[in-house]
Amino acid sequence: MSHLSERPENPVVGIPLPHESAALHVTGEALYTDDLVGRTAGALHAWPVQAPHAHAMVTGLRPEPAYDVPGVVRVLTAADVPGVNDAGVKHDEPLFPTEVMFHGHAVCWVLGETQEAARLGAAAVEVDYEPLPSLVTVPEAIAAESFQGARPHLERGDVTGALDDAAHVFEGEFEFAGQEHFYLETHVSLALVDEAGQVLVHSSTQHPSETQEIVAHVLGLPSHAVTVQCLRMGGAFGGKEMQPHGYAAIAALGATLTGRPVRLRLNRTQDMTMSGKRHGFHSTWRVGFDADGLLVALEATLTADGGWSLDLSEPVLARALCHIDNAYWVPNVRVDGRIARTHKTSQTAFRGFGGPQGMLVMEDLLGRCAPLLGIDPIELRRRNFYRSHHTTPYGQPVRHADRLEACWDQVAESGEVARRRTEIAEFNRQNPHSKRGLAMTPVKFGISFNLTAFNQAGALVHVYKDGSVLINHGGTEMGQGLHTKMLQVAATTLGVPLERVRLAPTRTDKVPNTSATAASSGADLNGAAIKNACEQIRERLAQVAGGRLGISPNDVRFEAGTVRGISVASGSISWDELVNTAYHQRVQLWAAGFYRTEGLHWDAASMRGEPFKYFAYGVAAAEVEVSGFTGAYTLRRVDIVHDVGDSLSPLIDIGQIEGGFVQGAGWLTLEDLRWDASDGPTRGRLATQAASTYKLPSFSEMPEVFRVTLLEKAHEEGAVYGSKAVGEPPLMLAFSVREALREAAAAFGPAGTSVELASPATPEAVFWAIERARTPATPEPGTDTGTAEPVLAGGR
Amino acid sequence: MSQPIPCTASITVNGDEVPLDGIAAHTTTLDWLRGRGLTGAKEGCAEGECGACSVLVARPGTDPESGAATEWTAVNACLVPVAALDGQEVVTSEGLGTSSELHPVQRELAVRGGSQCGYCTPGFVCSLAAEFYRPTRTGDGACDHEHGPNGVDLHALSGNLCRCTGYRPIRDAAFALASPEPGDAFAARQAEAPPAPRPTRIAVGGAEFVRPETLAEALDLLVERPEAQVVAGSTDWGVEVNIRGVRAPLVVAVDRLPELRGLTLAEDHVEIGAALTLTEIERRLDGRIPLLAEVFPQFASRLIRNSATIGGNIGTGSPIGDTPPALLALDADVVLASPRGERVVALADYFTGYRQSVRADDELIRAVRLPLPLAPVTGFHKIAKRRFDDISSVAVGYALDVTGGTVVRARIGLGGVAATPLRAVATEDALVGRPWTEDTVRRAAAVLAGEGTPMDDHRASAAYRSAMLGQSLLRLFHDHADREEVPA
């Protein structure tokens, strides 16, 4: 067992604990960035002037009329920027654009004494636009060859030869939608300038260091002049990895120019029309199976809808390519990736980060091909699982592939899948107007940032003279329970009760140069850094304790606030007393910790290497019931077995699995981003820009029966206390819902019907799938998304 | 009437009476609370869809037999103008408990992992607290996935969105709640009378908020000030204020006018006061009108139904409007009051165009009247992306009288297929006088699929809307036909 993954006796990690802020959440005492505004005297409020065109040149901008509005203090324009007029890391996102690149793009910002004044001021600003032709859909961008960034290519084996020799070859096209993050807390920043000109920005950001860097470069300041703090976020899901920077920069710019605090909080409409979303993708594919239904070759082109700027589209696309295999061994693979440039919001990170999109292509084609192969989809999937000697198309060994089968068999058994499928068949035989379906799907998800440099983290741990402990780390809390886990790690490493440890808000002046809290890596990276800092302190204290107890420092043990020798006979002292003693011996009681993930390498150009520390595995079985009258459905039961290693915090981990699953089900079945692709005056406008038109799962979408189990004996060698990442992988367990809907729709048709299902599989989409199953010649009437329907070539 | 009412407006918040000074007519309760440092309630959507702003208001009890004169009622603070709460009592998540002394609802949510990011949580706490204190909540141990053994109806949370948890731990917390302990101050408060509505006049910056005391005063005011914006629960107006920046020089609140809050169960009709909320109607009718009982759970969310009134739902004139399709099927009349007196208009004749009606500027909807007896075969089919708390792409209300195997009378109301809610007259004709058989239904369904002029939009395609009309009648037949008549 490695040093990092080894647990001491009676550790605080592994205990199921509620979120460390739960009592503050439920009473409303927990503070979020916008809650600080009332505690900040004299704050100004910012409001954007949003362009009403998908693509246009700004030919004139007259802020003067805004100043006639009572309470308007300042209009911020490009002329006010002392540093670089850019809010992105790719230098393609001007903070104040002269070319409008999407409907709702903010061309300038108004500061007012009240939000009402800023709003009215923004309405008074006069802007002249020269409209330009726009590309709104991915097919439009493909036709115009409007691409941006890298064109990655992933290849292994001889695809052409394998397809030529395959017993069955199918091909298809599949376009599927993106997803709005809809964190309940919209983007918000509050900027203040202190007496020394230091800029402090409270920001709801997953990436404080990058927010700091962007603010600094917009203001023309060195990074040390800007501090970014994130108390906690009201949800983020990737949407606050890259997107907060520009809003923080606007607030900071306003604060430096006016000398007053500036608050920028987007309302929901502004947030939905301006901030990036999950990439929708277009895909074309050819797949070959042998006579036994084993995959022999896959050829695909994935086109991500990047929106107007590059943002994180390149790494998102790279992860999509690296996950198109999902859990399946495909000996011959050729995948090309492209990023469409469209006149939409800049699509960005969203839980799974391209992984879900790559895997959806595979799960969709398996669901469609299984009936054509005459193989039960549950059997087809299991038959094609990776085995432990296999490697991924990019060359990484699939360690612990046996856990796929372990999860699968456990779900099948505890979920009584065989018995229920018999019952479902009987139900379907008796009910002409409603049908049930049950599907199982696996997840294999690579953990680590593809970009190796990001796989590092820092922490700062203070032990005070009274024995109390304060920890800082570079990760941010967005509800995922990272801080809870970090408290457990610190208490475990120092051997103190949990209540002796407090965690301070994430700040760039405490831990510098941090990576985004993203890629599910927060606990792995920051936990190891905290552990490292705590170990430095513990080792110094062990020296002191060894002296006091008259034993070797190597034999000192720290547990539950007591420090003792291995042998009972050697006696013990309390943690508090030891700390006090150490202080008087002039021993340093604080430490900075650091961690870098070892053993990673990745060549982005050749798309080869071992970019992931390990894979997270999971399996879900979902059962749905679909109405033949409407296409509406209910999610009757979900069983999940998921591999989180040795859980650091089981209640938190189960919460992540359940929440991720429901969020994934929302993406695949309910959440419907509709952009106006017509040639009318509102072309490019997001038609679903509010909670009333963009529907998230509510309690009625929760599975009626929801059973989540953590895979046992799942110790992960080489990760902090044997645990595994959990943030993103469970989202993709929701493929089981989509596949169950496909099964249920197929049950309306003759046996062996292959069903094509749009994504999201809204009741309308399911209804058309049912209609096609009932009467195979029914085409889907066009909708305004222009969803392209897949076409299947025959087997041979 | 024009005499200024002295500005003594105030609200009792978490037990403290606080003056309402310097507020604008459009200031929402949410913004006002947050401005006072009560930041527990959050803005998630500003249109009453997410419930992050939910707070409790002391409202009149809906069940006299329960002994509760007052009910803690959860509402969306983002929609209710704070001026509308003059003289009322409000409790926020901060008022229910503190982190060192959690309320039972807070404790269950906290220990079971019911919060992750926590942003929606204070709203869930308030919605769930309202259900915790619901006087008619009696658990008999029977439960399903929407009803706890403790009598908790999960629909109490249908207006609260959580993006993190997937809801399971919230459901577990809701189903684990016991009854309020003896001595629970909030439970005790329910035994006392609720705060009476009081006349209000608030004028700041050239805009006024007025709550008249009587219907006569309200009607006089409408004559005097035709530009007045009439509001009841503000569930529509609040969205206009927040999302579209609409402001009005004069807002007149009619939701507590006693003349608009009657419920009459007569021999030959039921009269429902226009200012009764959907929740009040639902609980006081208690299933007496099965078609409406089918509508209520599908009408927005509990949070909205606690504020939204039936008069308001008709008055906004939405082409979708959840109650009009059902009310059309029930042959409802609208009672309009003006200084000239009252007139009765058939709902079928009420709507004249997109958000237009026969109601004059000086008229108020006083009541909705439903003739009795009720037709035996009824159904309400709402088609939407999400099962609950979504706006219909199509809604169909049915009231059919099938006697001796023959359809003798048919009323079908439609929403979402034209500029106004409308009757499916051609379909009705295709049914009446014919046998209630699959053959008749299939022919009539084809007619129904051609009713109205459905559009393509972000909710649904026109083709789906038409298909849903036709499917709807097949579904009604399937739901009402004897099982042996259904082809296997």
Residue range B157-180, pLDDT digits in tens: 999 999 999 999 999 999 999 999
CA–CA separation, B347 and B33 (whole Å): 39
Which residues on neighbouring strands pair with residue A154, listed in sequence order? A335
pLDDT reading at A87 higher than 80: yes
List CB contacts of B131: < 8 A, sequence separation 6 or more.
B137, B152, B153, B156, B157, B174
Mean pLDDT estimate for chain B: 94
pLDDT in tens, A233-249: 999 999 999 999 999 99
A585 in B contact zone (CB under 8 Å): no
Beta-strand relationship, B10-13 and B89-91? parallel
Helices (H) and strands (E) in chain B, counts: 16, 20
DSSP state letter for A754: -
Contact A671, A694 (CB under 8 A): yes
- Tell me yes or no: is domain B375-488 CATH 3.40.605.10: no
pLDDT reading at B378 higher than 80: yes
At B327 the three-state DSSP class reads: helix
pLDDT in tens, B407-420: 999 999 999 999 99
- Cβ contact, residue pair A38, B41, below 8 Å: no
List CB contacts of B222: < 8 A, sequence separation 6 or more.
B228, B230, B252, B361, B362, B363, B364
Looking at the 3D structure of chain A, how many domains does it have?
1
Every domain of chain B and the residues it spans = 10-189, 200-259, 375-488
- DSSP H helices, A131-241, are 138-143, 159-165, 208-219
Matching fold, domains B10-189 and B375-488: no
- DSSP H helices, A287-430, are 313-322, 355-373, 377-383, 402-414, 417-430
Edge to edge, the sheet with strand A556-559 lists: A556-559, A562-565, A572-574
Residue A140 lies inside a defined structural domain of this protein:
no
A687 in B contact zone (CB under 8 Å): yes
On chain A, the residues whose CB falls within 8 A of the CB of B300 are: none
Domain B10-189 sits in CATH at: 3.10.20.30
Give the domain CATH number at A592: 3.30.365.10
CA–CA separation, A349 and A516 (whole Å): 11
Q: Which residue has the tokens 């856990």?
A: A403
pLDDT in tens, A134-193: 999 999 999 999 999 999 999 999 999 999 999 999 999 999 999 999 999 999 999 999
The residue among A180, A698, A704, A726 with the most chain B CBs within 10 A of its CB, best to mutate, is: A698
Which pLDDT does position A782 carry in this prediction? 39
At B376, list the tokens. Answer: 């035996």
CA–CA separation, A792 and B12 (whole Å): 66
Edge to edge, the sheet with strand A126-131 lists: A99-100, A56-62, A126-131
Fold of the B200-259 domain: 3.30.43
- Cβ contact, residue pair A762, B385, below 8 Å: yes
Which pLDDT does position B484 carry in this prediction? 35
Which residues on neighbouring strands pair with residue A558, listed in sequence order? A563
On chain A, the residues whose CB falls within 8 A of the CB of B39 are: 28, 31-32, 34-35, 38
Which pLDDT does position A558 carry in this prediction? 97
* Shortest Cα distance, chain B CAs vs residue A431, angstroms: 7
Range A451-471 average pLDDT = 96
Residue of B nearest to A676 (CA): B458
pLDDT in tens, B90-102: 999 999 999 999 9
Q: Which residue has the tokens 């492209």?
A: A338
DSSP per-residue letters across B409-442: EEEEEEESSSSS-EE-HHHHHHHTTSBSSHHHHH
Which pLDDT does position A2 carry in this prediction? 66
CA–CA separation, A400 and A643 (whole Å): 11
On chain A, the residues whose CB falls within 8 A of the CB of B51 are: none
* Shortest Cα distance, chain A CAs vs residue B211, angstroms: 24
pLDDT in tens, A485-505: 999 999 999 999 999 999 999
Residue numbers of B between 376 and 405 with CB closer than 8 Å to A: 381, 383-391, 393
Contact B127, B98 (CB under 8 A): no
Give percent of chain B with pLDDT exceeding 70: 97
The residue among B116, B157, B465, B484 with the most chain A CBs within 10 A of its CB, best to mutate, is: B116
At B104 the three-state DSSP class reads: helix
- Cβ contact, residue pair B467, A767, below 8 Å: yes
CA–CA separation, B362 and B348 (whole Å): 21
Residue A615 lies inside a defined structural domain of this protein:
no
Range A706-718 average pLDDT = 96
Which pLDDT does position A567 carry in this prediction? 87
Contact B154, B177 (CB under 8 A): no
Give me the domain span that covers residue A481.
Answer: 22-29+456-596
Q: How far is CA A91 from CA A85, A217, A245, B93, B358, in A?
A: 9, 11, 13, 44, 58
Which pLDDT does position A570 carry in this prediction? 87
- pLDDT band for A783, please (50, 70, 90 cuts): very low
- CB nearest to B243's CB, from A658, A660, A690: A690
Mean pLDDT estimate for chain A: 96
Question: Taking the CB of residue B439, how many other CB atoms lie within 10 A of it?
Answer: 9
At B226, list the tokens. Answer: 């035709």
**Nearest Cα to A83, choosing from A256, A270, A232?**
A256
A691 in B contact zone (CB under 8 Å): yes
pTM above 0.95, yes or no: yes
Beta strand spans in B310-363 (E): 333-338, 341-346, 351-353, 356-357
CA–CA separation, A111 and B339 (whole Å): 47
Which pLDDT does position B65 carry in this prediction? 86
Q: What is the largest CA-CA distance in chain B?
A: 72
Residue A728 bears catalytic tag? yes
Q: How far apart are the first and last CA of chain B?
A: 68
A35 in B contact zone (CB under 8 Å): yes
- Cβ contact, residue pair A768, B456, below 8 Å: no
pLDDT in tens, B418-477: 999 999 999 999 999 999 999 999 999 999 999 999 999 999 999 999 999 999 999 999
* Shortest Cα distance, chain B CAs vs residue A781, angstroms: 7
Residue B52 main-chain phi, psi, to 5 deg:
-65, -15
**Nearest Cα to B295, choosing from B267, B258, B320?**
B320
Rounded to the nearest 10 degrees, what angle do helices A735-746 and A763-774 cross at? 40
Residue of B nearest to A692 (CA): B49
- CB nearest to B169's CB, from A24, A655, A705: A655
pLDDT reading at A441 higher than 80: yes
The one catalytic residue in A728, A743, A756, A771 is A728
pLDDT in tens, A630-684: 999 999 999 999 999 999 999 999 999 999 999 999 999 999 999 999 999 999 9
